[in-house]
A and B are shown apart, each in its own frame.
Chain A
Amino acid sequence: MTDPTTTPPVDSPVPTFSDLAAEQHPTLDPTGEPTVDPTSTITTRRPEPIDAGRIELSEAPRAVLSCTDVSCYYGAFRAVNEVTMDIGVHEITALIGPSGCGKSTILRALNRMNDLIPGTRVEGTIAYHGMDIYAKDVDPIEVRRRIGMVFQKPNPFPKSIYDNVAYGPKVTGMKVSNMDDVVEQSLRDAALWDEVKDKLKQSAYGLSGGQQQRLCIARTIAVKPEVILMDEPCSALDPIATARIEDLMLELRDDYTIVIVTHNMQQAARVADRTAFFTAEAAEGNGDRTGHLVEFAETTKIFSTPSDPRTEDYISGRFG
Chain B
Amino acid sequence: MATITAEPMSDARPLTAASHGERNPQSLVFLILLWLSLAFGLLVLAVLLVTTFLDGLPRMDSALFTNYASQLNPETAGARAAILGSALVIGVTALMAIPIGIAAASYLEEFASRKSRFAKYVELNVQNLAAVPAIIYGMLAAAAAVAIGLQRNTVLAGGIALALLILPVVIVSTREALRAVPQEIRQGSLALGASPMQTLQRQTLPAAIPGIATGTILALSRAMGEAAPLLLLGGLVFVQFDPNGLLSGFTTMPIQIFNWAGRSQEEFQQLAAAASIVLLVLVIAMNGVAIVIRNKFSNPR
A interface residues, Cβ below 8 angstroms from B: 111, 113, 116, 118, 141-142, 144-146, 148-149, 151, 153, 155-158, 167-168, 171-172, 205, 216, 219-220, 223, 225
Contact = CB atoms under 8 A, between A and B. Distances in A.
The interface residues of chain B, by DSSP majority, are classed as helix
A111 B193 CA distance: 10
Given A149-B191, A151-B188, A168-B192, A157 B203 contact: yes
B212 to A, nearest CB: 15
Contacts of B184: 151, 153, 155
Nearest to B113: A118
A168 B193 CA distance: 7
Given A118-B114, A153-B184, A171-B198, A158 B301 contact: yes
Nearest to B194: A171
A149 B113 CA distance: 25
Contacts of A205: 301
Contact of A172 (B182, B194, B202): B194
Contact of B192 (A118, A158, A220): A220
A171 B202 CA distance: 9
Given A142-B193, A171-B194, A158 B188 contact: no
B187 A113 contact: yes
B187 A148 contact: no
B191 A148 contact: yes
17 contacts: A113-B187, A116-B190, A118-B113, A141-B193, A144-B191, A144-B193, A145-B192, A149-B191, A153-B184, A155-B182, A155-B185, A157-B188, A168-B192, A172-B192, A172-B193, A216-B188, A220-B191
B189 interface: yes
Interface residues of B, number: 20
Given A149-B191, A168-B194, 10 more contacts: A116-B190, A142-B193, A158-B206, A167-B192, A167-B202, A168-B192, A171-B192, A219-B192, A220-B191, A223-B192
Interface of B: 113-114, 182, 184-185, 187-195, 198, 202-203, 206-207, 301
The 9 closest A-B pairs by CB, nearest first: A145-B193, A155-B184, A149-B191, A168-B192, A171-B194, A155-B188, A144-B193, A172-B193, A171-B198
A144 B192 contact: yes
Contacts of A149: 191
Question: In this complex, which of B184, B185, B191, B195 has the most chain A Cβ atoms within 10 angstroms of its Cβ?
Answer: B191
Contacts of A151: 184, 187-188, 191
A167 B194 CA distance: 9
A113 B194 contact: no
Contacts of A145: 192-193
Contacts of B194: 141, 167-168, 171-172
Nearest to A115: B190
B119 to A, nearest CB: 13
Given A157-B203, A205-B301, A141 B195 contact: yes
A145 B194 CA distance: 8
Contacts of A219: 192
B207 A158 contact: yes
B113 A113 contact: no
Contacts of A171: 189, 192-195, 198, 202
Given A118-B114, A158-B207, A167-B202, A144 B190 contact: yes
A149 B184 CA distance: 12
Given A158-B207, A158-B301, A116 B193 contact: no
Nearest to A205: B301
Given A118-B113, A167-B202, A171-B198, A158 B185 contact: yes
A148 to B, nearest CB: 6
B149 to A, nearest CB: 44
